[in-house]
Amino acid sequence: MNLASKTIVITGANSGIGLETARALAQSGATIVMACRDPARAETARADIAATVPGAKLEVVGLDLASLADVRRCAELLRTRFPRIDVLINNAGALPFKRQMTVDGFEMQFGVNHLAHFLLTDLLMPALLAAGQPRVINIASLLHHIGKIDFASFRGETPYGAFKAYGQSKLCNVLFTRELARRHQNDGLVTFSVHPGPVGTNIMGRGLLNRTLYRLIGAYMSPRRGAHTSVYLASADGIEATSGAYYNESAKVKAGSKLSNDDALAKRLWAESERLTAAIG
């Protein structure tokens, strides 16, 4: 597609896959909105992209996904500044070794990786639908295959395991995509979930030990390579019929896990996500 007149919002665009996705899409002439938690790192990332992509159209907005109040604030700002949003890439994520909680009392991975992006997408829906043929891309993971949805764990009630929680949050991403596609099958919105590949990023934290451990468990791909499928799904023509699909790092549709194809589970997760976000203004 011709992206020159498009507006693309990317969460977590200051590092890793998000940064390289922003850099690649900036080359198309689109306006790239970098929604990031750390303003200083976001400005550094914007300067980095601007230095490598002459004429890049870049905007930075603050977004703390660990606070639903801040998600609401950011969404209101985005709707005001950008009445039409063509592509939303829910890219940011967290994978803490030890249990952490969001400001609102949710287990961090569920809260950041799924619930905040669920709310952000919902609040931006008027601007997305104003685009006519919007796209929502959710960064999931192959590790959704180990995920199970424990509805009693969302507020940290059950024993914490980092990869158990990660698998659950990534399964949430795939199920959310599936249900989002079903709900918008007649209004032009298309949506995809993505396994970007085993990419070496700062998702476990910026400390040397955490980054080293992440690479030792197999995260060997570069962020630039990991951005490949996100960029493809944001820009490719003729993929609308695959809305709701799970894509791998080679931009191919994959079946996903058995649970990720459970429509009843997707509907239940959606209803619970609506209930949880509505309860916190």
Which is catalytic among the residues 160, 166, 232, 246?
A: 166
Kindly give, in sequence order, each residue whose CB lies less than 8 Å from that of residue 26, ignoring residues fewer than 6 positions away: 32, 49, 53, 56, 57, 58
The torsion defined by the Cα of 230, 219, 204 and 92, in degrees rounded to 10, comes to 0
Contacts of 100 (CB under 8 A, 6+ apart): 94, 107, 108
Which of 31, 13, 12, 30 is CA-nearest to residue 22? 13
Strand partners, 139: 194
Give the Cα separation of 132 and 129 in Å (integer). 6
DSSP for 30-99 reads PEEEEEES-HHHHHHHHHHHHHHSTT-EEEEEE--TT-HHHHHHHHHHHHHH-S---EEEE------SS-
CA distance 70 to 65: 7
45: exposed, middle or buried (Cβ count in 10 Å: 0-12, 13-18, 19+):
buried
Annotation marks residue 220 as catalytic = no
In terms of DSSP H, where are the helices of 131-227? 162-183, 208-216, 223-226
**Residue 121: phi, psi to the nearest 5?**
-60, -45
- Residue in the structure block whose two tokens are 């990031």: 36
Positions marked active-site: 166
